[in-house]
Amino acid sequence: AQSVAQPEDQVNVAEGNPLTVKCTYSVSGNPYLFWYVQYPNRGLQFLLKYITGDNLVKGSYGFEAEFNKSQTSFHLKKPSALVSDSALYFCAVRDLDSSASKIIFGSGTRLSIRP
Amino acid sequence: EAGVTQSPTHLIKTRGQQATLRCSPISGHTSVYWYQQALGLGLQFLLWYDEGEERNRGNFPPRFSGRQFPNYSSELNVNALELEDSALYLCASIRERSTDTQYFGPGTRLTVL
């Protein structure tokens, strides 16, 4: 069985400071990991993904995520937060080694950036 | 290239009625996922269709059903609507058997009165 956890319901950061949104996962095989962002009353927008290769993945809007196999984590980071980054962020996982594996999402983390 | 489209944008029904939601995937994508998002919270996996077949379903009652057509578009049907079915229903498409990205539509906001 696969699962993904976002341990923080909300993260508050001052503008200009670095931000981290945490995600941990569990899969039987090799993970295929995603981050998405959702603005109010909108669908999800793709930020970045990890399949294989370099553990540091760069994505849209200056975001990056670090894959850590030993800690089964895929935390989302940004060096300097903007007020416009305030949104709901979702981590998702799929088991690459299972053809019947669906893509499942974490519960989401609300990121609030204060001016 | 057109993105994932969903219709209608908003749907208002009363308890006991049936709702039909539609989704058109990105051209070349053969797989469609449906998710329910209640109260701006997490996404709950509903259904996964690939090549016209149901591949997996989430922990939802049988009154949630759907199908995928030969052109890969999909329909989600919710029978005997209940108040707690009020949610944003999101459709996403992906090209299966690849490491492609899942792309989302804007969603259908279903309100049950």
Q: What's the confidence (pLDDT) of residue A82?
A: 96
Report CA dihedral (A66, A69, A72, A77) to the nearest 10 degrees: 0
Average pLDDT of chain A is 92
Nearest alpha-carbon partner for B29 in B99, B100, B94: B94
- Residue numbers in A near B55 (CB within 8 A): 100, 102
Task: Establish if A5 touches chain B: CB-CB under 8 angstroms.
Answer: no
d(CA A105, CA A25): 10
- The distance of B18 to chain A (nearest Cα, Å) reads 23
| Residues A73-102 pLDDT 10s | 999 999 999 999 999 999 999 887 776 677
d(CA B109, CA A100): 29
Cβ pair B101, B25 in contact under 8 A: no
Identity of residue A87: A
- The distance of B51 to chain A (nearest Cα, Å) reads 13
What is the number of other CB atoms lying within 10 angstroms of the CB of residue B49? 27
- Residue numbers in A near B104 (CB within 8 A): 36, 43-46
pLDDT band of residue B40 (cuts 50, 70, 90) is low
| Residues B51-105 pLDDT 10s | 999 998 999 999 999 999 999 999 999 999 999 999 999 999 988 766 678 899 9
d(CA A76, CA A36): 10
Q: Structure tokens of A67?
A: 């894959």
- Residue numbers in A near B31 (CB within 8 A): none
Q: Structure tokens of A77?
A: 């980071």
CB contact under 8 Å between B55 and A100, yes or no, is yes
Average pLDDT of chain B is 92
Q: Is the pLDDT of residue B1 over 70?
A: no
Q: What is the pLDDT along chain A (115 residues), one digit of tens a residue?
A: 788 999 999 999 999 999 999 999 998 888 899 999 998 877 899 999 998 889 999 999 999 999 999 999 999 999 999 999 999 999 999 887 776 677 889 999 999 999 9
Q: What's the confidence (pLDDT) of residue B99?
A: 66
Output phi, psi for B63, to 5 deg.
-70, -10
Share of chain B above pLDDT 70, in %: 95
CB contact under 8 Å between A42 and B102, yes or no, is no
Task: Establish if A43 touches chain B: CB-CB under 8 angstroms.
Answer: yes
Q: Structure tokens of A80?
A: 């300097």
CB contact under 8 Å between B45 and A102, yes or no, is yes
Task: Establish if A74 touches chain B: CB-CB under 8 angstroms.
Answer: no
